[in-house]
């Protein structure tokens, strides 16, 4: 996203991979990264499908916030891909 500030407060959808070792179940957040950027995802209020894990590709829908000088994605829905259903 070239100008994330224009989306602050808006409901948006994002897709990326969960950064290895970033899931913190105590604070209910993780880092989602793409090809060139990353963002902190707060999933405390989210409906989360089974399989949230490191290096997993996820789709998330929620609201972009700007908190303590950083962008935070407050997720409402997190859906994970399920590679096992495509394996033989």
pLDDT digits (tens, 9 = 90+) for 35-83: 889 999 999 999 998 889 999 999 999 999 999 999 999 999 999 976 5
Q: Which CATH superfamily is domain 4-81 in?
A: Bacterial OB-fold (2.40.50.200)
**C-alpha closest to that of 29 among 45, 44, 50, 14:** 44
Instruction: Assign 84 to helix, strand or coil.
Output: helix
What pLDDT was estimated at residue 18?
Answer: 97
- Residues 7-32 have pLDDT tens digits of 999 999 999 999 999 999 999 999 99
Give the domain ranges of the chain.
4-81
Q: What is this structure's pTM?
A: 0.88
pLDDT-based confidence at residue 2 (cuts at 50, 70, 90): confident
């Amino acid at each position: 996203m070239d100008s994330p500030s224009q989306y602050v407060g808006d409901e948006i959808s994002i897709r990326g991979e969960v950064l290895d070792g970033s899931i913190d179940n105590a604070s209910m957040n993780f880092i989602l990264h793409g090809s060139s950027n990353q963002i902190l995802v707060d999933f405390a209020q989210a409906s989360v499908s089974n399989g949230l894990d490191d290096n997993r590709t996820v789709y998330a829908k929620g609201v972009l916030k700007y908190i303590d000088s950083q962008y935070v994605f407050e997720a409402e829905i997190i859906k994970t891909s399920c590679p096992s259903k495509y394996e033989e």
